[in-house]
Amino acid sequence: MGDMSELQEREQKLQGMGTSLLRKEDAKFIRGQGSYIDDIKLPGMLFGAIVRSPYAHARIKGIDKSKALACPGVVAVLTADDLKPVNLHWMPTVGGDVQAVLADKKVCFQMQEVAMVLATDRYTAADGAALVEVDYEELPAIVDPEKAMAPDAPVIREDIADKKEVGHGPRTHPNHIFTWEAGDKAAADAAFASAAVTVREEILNPRVHPCPLETCGCVASFNKATGTLTLHVTTQIPHLLRTVLAMLSGVAESKIRVIGGDIGGGFGNKVPVYPGYVVATVASIVTGVPIKWIESRIDNISTTGFARDYHGVGELAADKDGRIKGLRFSALADHGAFNSHVSASKLPAGLFSICTGSYDIPNAYCRVDAVYTNKAPGGVAYRCSLRVTEAVYLIERMMDVLAQKLGIDKAEIRRRNFVKAEQFPYTTSLGWTLDSGAYHPALDKVLKAVDYEGLRREQADKRAKGELMGIGLSTFTEIVGAGPTKVCDILGIGLFDSCEIRVHPTGGVIARLGTMSQGQGHATTYAQIIATELGLPASDIVVEEGDTDKSPYGAGTWGSRSTPVSGAATAQAARKIKDKAKKIAAHLLEVAEGDLEWEIDRFKVKGNPSQAKTMKEICMVSHTGNLPAGMEQGLNAVSYYDPPNLTFPFGAYVCVVDIDKFTGETKVRRFYALDDCGTRINPMIIEGQIHGGLTEAYAVAMGQQIPFDENGNHLGNSLMDYFLPTAMETPHWETDHTVTPCPHHPLGAKGVAESPHVGGIPCISNAVIDAFAHLGVTHMDMPHSAYRVWQQCRALGINKR
């Protein structure tokens, strides 16, 4: 006992926190044995195909199903009129609005769901959908959110035209959804009035789409005999979805089983409840047979879960040394035709008020105005917490704008404004309490690693030769881990999360959680937490998620909340088990609990280390009668964790680009990302998440945008047009880290998967714009495609040989 190599060996056996344990998930995926939604096949299953609107705004004058119904293999055609008797032609949204499940008299965006054809196979369903004849009367469409609130603008939502509010305060126009504000406007205005220098920039976060490789879909199966509904579905929120289905369908929540299965990527796209799920569910309830509905890629990009579309204005006020005195940020938010924007009830603009970033800004005010347009509804958080990318993009861009105005180096202006280590916990002027941070050392480490001074010298040389080289910085603070129930709820349900652990007699463990992995490696990471907490090997710990019949209630996986919330619940549940185990150990060793100490995988008697009980021994004993008086058998626990605060991961990134001024092509020469996510549970998985997040940041910054023409026609809804980077474009990523544990999390962990997306986008934009900074350019909107960068070169007259 106590021999160092023996201790190490025992520790290694656990494969607990801090080790790069290879993933448990991989075994099935590398063999092609994943079970994704389209792999589900049930006896008698029918296929549903959705008939969609070719117009962005039109009245439906009639629907003729006869030709479709005459097609052999077509079983039924459902329209809004068919859903009316069960009152499911409309559904409530989490944003306080309603959304048409199938278009009721009118379509409000192109590709809107009008009917569902049910048929015996997917080819026949598609044939049937093509044969449904819909008579439309086209109406003028609103595509530009700036025009939505014009006095003579067409009214998009006649169904709510008279409503004074749709969930979030008074409306001032039929196309107005809400106005949300935070901060002290008068104080911010005063800071601007007296500032030595002010800067203002219009900054767009364009409409983009998370575009996971697997589209959305479901298989709904209602058993008429038992009255039970099983929904296999691509969802990041199985439990909340079950609650929504119970509210909508009238089926008791106990008789609904939602199964997430394997999810082929989510990135926010699989959070909402989509009309396709609802129609398939109703169809199964009516027909009594299972119904499968699977989106095509075009359906996916056109209709489900877009992100951003925030038309922002950033303003900073500072003294002559660049110390920020005031911030005013606003955004016009295009929510499309229905406010099915994903957000917590009390946060209609999500966590946009994190927009003061990593900086000590005494006076701040921000405002978001949301409007309806004739575009697909929603607004999901694409690999970020709700509206955090939008906020971080604004502040990180504006730091550069201010630096350029004052002629201060872009690293130096950040250093001058950082919240200092001794200021934590630091409450921002918009009300968030940043629990921890060490911003200066992170930035210094990165600048040293890339030889920032050397890069600036190289840039000066290149500029002298007329070449374009840009250096981008991003020193962001994220806000993740929603969240404290006092701050965040959806449909009244607080955003706590849960873990239930059952320990078997021989030391095997099953843990079930309310979250839902979509590739993040939960089965591995949670097992490692339990391994370290309980001293049982990760190899024998099985993690299950996504089946509402099995796992305890939780709010799912989005907003980097799995580790901050469920990781904490896991630790708490394990600690309850460990407390009981300690009592059993004391009983067995005939000592007081206080005489015991924990060592890796066992309790031993202080001062007498040969007297010990391993967890494995205790597991067996806990299932016998040899227990302390009054103690029940078993070694199980469940924990529901309501975090006291959100967590605030941060990072310092540097991006270096070379731009060909004749073609506009931009090459990311170097990207160095330092992330601080607090305690690191599996470094390999963390690095993988950062690679993926940076690649999605690159996609957004360099090429993703969902364009429309003036009639609301979608101009880029297949992978022919929508940019997903290949291995050729994707830069090489260099990663680094510091560790500043979260003080309020039981493990000190903060969440990581979204930081690289949130921090990466402004870093790349800042690099591209920095390449033009010496020519007086202060901003260029994303995406920085070659054509758009070339247009900038042409506008400056530098594209001629």
Is residue 47 classed as helix, strand or coil in its secondary structure? strand
Q: Which stretch binds other proteins (CB under 8 A): 183-191, 462-470, 715-723, 765-773?
A: 715-723
Q: Which of 519, 649, 678, 712 binds other proteins (CB under 8 A)?
A: 519
Q: What whole-number distance in Å separates Cα of residue 704 and Cα of residue 572?
A: 41
Contact between 53 and other proteins (CB under 8 A)? no
User: Are the C-beta atoms of 555 and 497 separated by less than 8 Å?
Assistant: yes
Angle value at C-alpha 172, between 168 and 175, nearest 5 degrees: 85
From residue 175 to residue 214, what is the string marking binding to other proteins with x (rule CB under 8 A)?
------------------------------------xxxx
Coil, strand or helix: which one is 430? coil
**Candidate ranges 25-33, 189-197, 431-439, 792-800; the one touching other proteins (CB under 8 A):** 25-33
CB of 656 to other proteins, least distance (A): 18
**Residue closer to other proteins (CB basis): 55 or 671:** 671
514 interacts with other proteins by CB under 8 A: no
Q: Is the dihedral of CA 438, 444, 450, 455 positive or negative?
A: positive
Catalytic one of 754, 763, 792, 793: 754
φ, ψ of residue 186 in degrees (nearest 5): -60, -45
* φ, ψ of residue 439 in degrees (nearest 5): -75, -40
Residues 117-176 close enough to bind other proteins by CB under 8 A: 122-123
Q: Closest distance between other proteins and the C-beta of residue 286, in Å?
A: 25
Of these residues, 383, 397, 414, 602, which one is catalytic?
383
Using CB under 8 A, pick the residue from 267, 293, 382, 653 that binds other proteins.
267
383 catalytic residue (yes or no): yes
Q: Which residues pair with 259 in a beta bridge?
A: 232, 547
List Cβ neighbours of 353 (8 Å cut-off, separation of 6 or more).
182, 183, 366, 391, 428, 430, 431, 432
Closer residue to other proteins (CB): 266 or 314: 266
| Strand (E) or helix (H) holding 229 | strand 228-233
**72 versus 776: smaller Cβ distance to other proteins:** 72
Nearer to other proteins, 139 or 654 (CB): 654
Minimum distance of other proteins from residue 128's CB (angstroms):
14
Told to check if 48 binds other proteins by CB under 8 A, we report: no
**In whole angstroms, how large is the CA radius of gyration of the chain?**
28
In angstroms, give the least distance from the CB of 671 to other proteins.
10
Q: In whole angstroms, how close is the CB of 57 to other proteins at the nearest point?
A: 28
* C-beta of residue 465 within 8 angstroms of C-beta of residue 745: no
Can you read off the two tokens belonging to residue 708? 């429309």
Minimum Å distance from CB 748 to other proteins?
A: 23
Q: Give the number of other CB atoms < 10 A from CB of residue 738.
A: 18
Q: Which residues ranging from 372 to 431 are in contact with other proteins (CB under 8 A)?
A: none
Q: Does 25 bind other proteins (CB under 8 A)?
A: yes
If binding is defined by CB under 8 A, does position 34 make contact with other proteins?
A: yes
Task: Find the shortest distance in angstroms from Cβ 266 to other proteins.
Answer: 8
**For residues 6 and 348, what is the distance between their CA atoms, to the nearest angstrom?**
55
Residue 23 binds to other proteins (criterion: CB under 8 A): yes
Which residue stretches of 376-418 are H helix? 388-406, 410-417
State in angstroms the smallest separation of the CB of 597 from other proteins: 36
Residue 219 · residue 261 · CB < 8 Å: no
| CA 272/CA 236 separation, integer angstroms | 8
Candidates 77-85, 339-347, 703-711, 719-727: pick the segment binding other proteins (CB under 8 A): 719-727
**Residues 584-623 contacting other proteins, CB under 8 A:** none
Is 716 a binder of other proteins (CB under 8 A)?
no
Residues 638/629, Cβ–Cβ less than 8 Å? no
Q: Is 387 a catalytic residue?
A: no
B/e letters for 190-214, b = 16+ CB within 10 Å, e = fewer, are ebbeebeebbebebbbbbbbbbbeb
Interface pick for other proteins out of 3, 225, 632, 732 (rule CB under 8 A): 732
43 binds other proteins (CB under 8 A): no
572 near other proteins (CB under 8 A): no
Q: Does 718 bind other proteins (CB under 8 A)?
A: yes
Q: Is there binding between residue 42 and other proteins (CB under 8 A)?
A: no
Q: Is 38 in the site for other proteins (CB under 8 A)?
A: yes
User: Looking at beta carbons only, is 124 or 548 nearer to other proteins?
Assistant: 124
Q: Are strands 666-676 and 734-737 parallel, antiparallel or unpaired?
A: parallel
Transcribe 311-355 into DSSP letters.
EEEEEEEE-TT--EEEEEEEEEEE-TTS------TT-TTTTGGGT
List the one residue from 92, 154, 265, 743 that touches other proteins (CB under 8 A): 265
Residue 296 touching other proteins (CB under 8 A): yes
- Applying CB under 8 A, does 72 fall inside the site for other proteins? yes
C-beta of residue 743 within 8 angstroms of C-beta of residue 436: yes
* 387 vs 331: CA distance, rounded Å: 11
Classify 20 as helix, strand or coil: coil
Of 19-27, 140-148, 363-371, 402-410, the window that binds other proteins (rule: CB under 8 A) is: 19-27
Characterize the bridge pairing of strands 256-259 and 228-233.
parallel
Residue 34 or residue 92: which is nearer to other proteins going by CB? 34
Is residue 715 involved in binding other proteins (CB under 8 A)?
A: no
Does 465 sit near other proteins (CB under 8 A)?
A: no
DSSP 208: E
Q: Is 629 in the site for other proteins (CB under 8 A)?
A: no
Give the Cα separation of 786 and 792 in Å (integer).
Answer: 10
Q: Which of 728, 797, 800, 801 binds other proteins (CB under 8 A)?
A: 728
Q: Is the peptide bond before 743 cis (omega within 30 degrees of 0)?
A: no
Region near other proteins per CB under 8 A, out of 158-166, 548-556, 640-648, 714-722: 714-722
Tokens of 5: 């190599």
- 761 contacts other proteins (rule: CB under 8 A): no
Cα 761 to Cα 473: distance, rounded to the nearest angstrom: 10
Element (H, E) at 127: helix 122-131
Among 32, 151, 170, 607, contact with other proteins (rule: CB under 8 A):
32
Q: Using CB under 8 A, which of the segments 515-523, 563-571, 617-625, 762-770 binds other proteins?
A: 515-523
Identify which range of 27-35, 319-327, 637-645, 701-709 contacts other proteins by CB under 8 A.
Answer: 27-35
- State the Cα–Cα distance between residues 769 and 778, nearest whole angstrom: 7
Minimum CB–partner distance for residue 10 and other proteins (Å)? 24
Catalytic residue among 355, 366, 384, 499: 384
Phi, psi angle pair for 156, to nearest 5°? -80, -45
What is d(CA 87, CA 69) in angstroms, rounded to the nearest whole number? 24
N-term to C-term CA, the chain: 76
Q: Which one of 15, 236, 404, 459 is the catalytic residue?
A: 236
For other proteins, the closer CB: 294 or 769:
294
Q: Where does residue 5 rank: exposed (0-12), middle (13-18), buried (19+ CB within 10 A)?
A: exposed
Q: Which two tokens stand for residue 672?
A: 């160095």
Contact between 688 and other proteins per CB under 8 A: yes
Non-local CB neighbours of 451 within 8 Å, separated by 6+ positions: none
Residue (161 or 719) nearer to other proteins, CB: 719
Does residue 670 belong to the site contacting other proteins (CB under 8 A)? no
CA 216 vs. chain centroid, Å, equals 16
Q: Least distance to other proteins from the beta carbon of 784, Å?
A: 19
List residues near other proteins by CB under 8 A.
22-23, 25-34, 36, 38-39, 41, 72-73, 122-123, 211-215, 262-265, 267, 296-297, 518-521, 684-685, 687-689, 691-692, 694-696, 718-720, 724, 726-728, 730, 732-733
List active site positions. 236, 383-384, 754
